[in-house]
Amino acid sequence: MMNLLSLILLTFFVCDFKFIECACHDKVDLVYLVDSSGSVGSINFNKEKEFINNSLSQFVIGHNDALVGVVTFSTVPREQFKLNAFLDKAALKYAITKIPYLTGNTHTAEAINFVNNHMFIPSAGDRPDAQNVLVVLTDGQSGDHAKTLQEANRLKQRTTVIIAVGIGSGASKSELNGLVSDPSYVFFVNDFDALKQIHDTVHSVACNLANTATTHRPPPVTTILKTLPPPTTTTATTTSSCVDVIPNCKQYGPTVCLGTYKPWASRNCAYYCKLCYALTAVVPIVGK
């Protein structure tokens, strides 16, 4: 898989020139699981909250767009608010600033279990036609590595995508690599101040995931795929439209050409994935 930070930089470069709309309008049920253990400290906990608020800047909040819930964890997990608590971004961001810091141990397994049983459920606002995404922020490793991975796997079996952010030298790379849904969804920063350098990763991953979840929502009119039989000869017109919109499709690997990623690949990596003849038109959309 490619370096996701490269994709983010490319996405926002394009956004700056207004070739695409950068706000995410797809349905995402987004839960942040935030480390509140003793090793974090109150000052760094505030930096975690700032990271969350910065990462929400590109999301549209609402019933037909993104909903956000937050759980903090230390010795015990604590629900701060459910997915359906806020439909207004200003109110949501203000609520995040008011989340209290509670010290304790790093019981990550219990926290993921709590999210599975109490957050991604209909009564908490979880929607059947939305992509579930869990973002885990931690500066340490769990008290039970095996149980943590077991709980994460149980959550991923429900098609929830897990993103992880490891902060500082105390974060366990092996644990977080096993936690996430894909190796490109784990990020490590040297300290809490460096969180501000990667806050756009959450939007980029979540929005692209929602964009590929075509089993739940039909794609916008501009990206509807029309299947045609392969032409018997390659014409100049066909060849000229068969291009990769982004420059590093190869770094994704062949798996990006299949399954739920195929619609995204058809728009962005048609030449690399050999999907040139599957479309009557390819709209160059990198993300939303």
Does the pLDDT value for residue 245 go beyond 80?
no
Does the pLDDT value for residue 31 go beyond 60?
yes
Q: Tell me if the pTM is above 0.95.
A: no
pLDDT at 228: 37
**For all residues of the chain together, what is the average pLDDT?**
79
Distance separating alpha carbons of residues 79 and 72, to the nearest angstrom: 7
Q: Would you state the CATH architecture of domain 28-215?
A: 3-Layer(aba) Sandwich (3.40)
Tens digits of residue pLDDT in 186-234: 999 999 999 998 888 888 887 777 665 533 333 332 333 333 343 343 3
- Ranges for all domains in the chain classified under CATH 3.40.50.410: 28-215
pLDDT at 253: 74
Band of the pLDDT at 268, cuts 50, 70, 90? confident
Spatial CA neighbour of 267 closest among 288, 237, 246, 248: 246
Give 95-100 contacts, CB < 8 A, sequence gap 24+. Answer: 96/49, 96/52, 96/53, 96/70, 97/49, 97/53, 99/34, 99/49, 99/70, 99/72
pLDDT at 248: 73
How many residues in total does the chain contain?
288
Contact between residue 116 and residue 154 where contact means Cβ atoms under 8 Å apart: yes
